[in-house]
Amino acid sequence: MNGIGASEGGDPGKEIASALEQDIVLGRLAPGEKLREEDLAERFSASRHHVREGLNRLERAGIVIKERNRGVSVRRFTVDEVRQIYEVREILQRQASLMIRLPADAGAIARLVEINDRYENAVEAGDFQRIHETNDLFHTELFRLCGNELLLNLVKNYMDLTYAIRGSAFGHRENLETSRRHHRIMIGLLQGTDSWALAQICVDHIQPTKTQYLAFLEGRPRNGDEGPGPD
């Protein structure tokens, strides 16, 4: 019944952080929700110490907020913060994609095609877990081609942050269709030499969810705290 299904070889704090991040991404933990250490310790059958470490990790990733002597809760973002996050993502993805030498290596393209196949299968099956997984992998492998590992990690971090803040609430039919189309266009562009077009699609790719999520947030601006509704 514990949430850590994978191999438990590594750092316990890391495992717990990943599991909690999954929970947030998949919408099982809502923004504003409080995370009590002891509960988590029991759930993961780990010591409170490790849970603490995991929560620290999540705090530094920016997806959770920690108030002294008041515990941690899933971070609730303001409209402005969301806008800033997407702004950074656009910068990072544009610049990273511009650094990809075109035409790209054939082996890399083949790998991306294979990953995208798995992505499309997951979309067909409606398996959110695997959709997120393969989508993540696709972008990781794509931006790895920029040749700068550090930049790749930055791109990944802010991509993960985006998933965390909006959950998979916007992974609806039409979005997934658009995503699928974008991925195919990207693969096509990797075979050509038009870096600018590739950069453009990499930026365009994140616009739909950005627009929808911002509209969603602005649609209900008067929420002081609606998570723990009184009665």
Residues that bind DNA (CB under 7 A): 11-12, 34-38, 46-50, 52, 66, 68-72
46: left (phi over 0), alpha (psi -120 to 50) or beta: beta
Amino acid at 206: I
Q: Which one of a second copy, DNA, none is in contact with 50 (Cβ closer than 5 to 8 A by kind)?
A: DNA
Distance from the Cα of residue 106 to its chain's centroid: 27
Build a one-symbol-per-residue string for 118-157: x at contacts with a second copy by CB under 8 A, - elsewhere.
------------------------------xxxx--x---
> CB of residue 214 vs a second copy: minimum separation in angstroms?
15
Q: Which one of DNA, a second copy, none is in contact with 38 (Cβ closer than 5 to 8 A by kind)?
A: DNA
**Nearer to DNA (CB atom), residue 68 or residue 220:** 68
Q: Which one of a second copy, DNA, none is in contact with 70 (Cβ closer than 5 to 8 A by kind)?
A: DNA
Angle between helices 173-190 and 106-125 (to 10 degrees): 170
> CB of residue 19 vs a second copy: minimum separation in angstroms?
19
Candidates 26, 65, 88, 108: give the one binding a second copy (CB under 8 A): 88
Beta-bridge mates of residue 67: 71
> CB of residue 74 vs DNA: minimum separation in angstroms?
13
Contact 193, 103 (CB under 8 A): yes
SS3 at position 162:
helix
Q: Which one of a second copy, DNA, none is in contact with 88 (Cβ closer than 5 to 8 A by kind)?
A: a second copy
With tokens 């979005």, the residue in question is 175
Is residue 67 near a second copy by the rule CB under 8 A? no
DSSP per residue, 73-114 = EE----HHHHHHHHHHHHHHHHHHHHTS-SSPPHHHHHHHHH
Contact 209, 166 (CB under 8 A): yes
Contact 189, 101 (CB under 8 A): no
Instruction: In whole angstroms, give the CA distance from residue 154 to residue 88.
Output: 10
> CB of residue 113 vs a second copy: minimum separation in angstroms?
28
**Nearer to a second copy (CB atom), residue 57 or residue 166:** 57
The token pair at 44 is 């993961």
In the complex, the residues that contact a second copy under the rule CB under 8 A are 11, 53, 56-57, 60, 68, 81, 84-85, 87-88, 91-92, 95, 148-151, 154
